[in-house]
Amino acid sequence: MVRMISDVKITDVAGTAMPIRGNDIDTDRIIPARYLKEITFARMGEYPFIDERFDPEGKPRPHPFNDPRYRGASILLVNKNFGCGSSREHAPQALLRFGIHALVGESFAAIFAGNCLMLGIPAVTVASSEIENLMKLVESNPQTGFKLDLQEKKLYSGGELAIAFDIPESSRKALLEGFWDSTAMLCANLNKVRELAVELPYMTGFRS
């Protein structure tokens, strides 16, 4: 389910995980530029890594996003500098609409992480050794359940393993308090918005 504009408070994300190995995976790999022409995000969930998942004839290639073992995964495990390259909201939109609701990685491109936040997708970081262990765990046991707890800043897996993660405090607070969407912030301050609007000449028809 895709989250719409609201004041939804996100305290945790639970589910299975999917690993995507490789450093410097850029936004053009996540969502090729030709799909940026679409006027809505409605079909973005069809496109993540599409050029890697299918050959020119449309036949599936081996890829985690095609692997039935990871079907239904809600947490994406990644390596360094994930989401680098050009800024495009379509990249996190594609991941979200595919079913990804949180990312755990070694590091993220700053703009990409910001775009994820605006969609309510936590992008948290852990040490390289932890990511490698998590990827190996998921590759050997794809049905391992995870819980990413934003209040405790810990990732739990299989009810046994607990890994501390990092996330900018401002991002964590926005997710926990439900202000990850800038429109939600405006709605929470409508009185101030209305007060300011009557002071702006172009909002009052330039009447003095």
Consecutive H or E run containing 161:
strand 161-164
Residues 125 and 185 in one domain: no
Whether 3 shows a pLDDT value over 60: the answer reads no
Residues 60 and 141 in one domain: yes
Whether 2 shows a pLDDT value over 70: the answer reads no
Q: Which residue type does 49 have?
A: F
Residues 149 and 56 in one domain: yes
Kindly report the average pLDDT of the chain as a whole number: 92
Residues 96 and 67 in one domain: yes
User: Is 5 part of a structural domain of the chain?
Assistant: no
* pLDDT tens-digit series, residues 115-127: 999 999 999 999 9
Distance CA 65, CA 165 (A): 24
User: Is 3 part of a structural domain of the chain?
Assistant: no
Residues 119 and 31 in one domain: yes
Residues 24 and 84 in one domain: yes
User: Is 202 part of a structural domain of the chain?
Assistant: yes
* pLDDT tens-digit series, residues 6-20: 568 999 999 999 999
Whether 4 shows a pLDDT value over 80: the answer reads no
- % pLDDT > 70, the chain: 93
CA 15 to chain CA centroid, nearest Å:
14
Residues 186 and 117 in one domain: no
Residues 171 and 192 in one domain: no
Residues whose CB is less than 8 angstroms from the CB of residue 78 and which lie 6 or more positions away in sequence, other chains included:
19, 20, 25, 103, 104, 105, 106, 108, 131
Whether 163 shows a pLDDT value over 60: the answer reads yes
Note down the domain range covering 197. 178-208
Distance CA 208, CA 202 (A): 11
Whole-model pTM: value is: 0.87
User: Is 69 part of a structural domain of the chain?
Assistant: yes
Indicate the number of domains in the chain.
2
Residues 141 and 192 in one domain: no
User: Is 51 part of a structural domain of the chain?
Assistant: yes
User: Is 1 part of a structural domain of the chain?
Assistant: no
Q: Which residue type does 144 have?
A: T
- % pLDDT > 90, the chain: 77
Residue 62 sits in a domain whose CATH number is 3.20.19.10
Residues 133 and 195 in one domain: no
User: Is 195 part of a structural domain of the chain?
Assistant: yes
Is the model more confident about 168 or about 207? 168
Q: Identify the band that residue 169 occupies on the pLDDT scale cut at 50, 70 and 90.
A: very high
Q: Give the residue among 147, 110, 149 at the shortest CA–CA distance from 17.
A: 147
User: Is 4 part of a structural domain of the chain?
Assistant: no
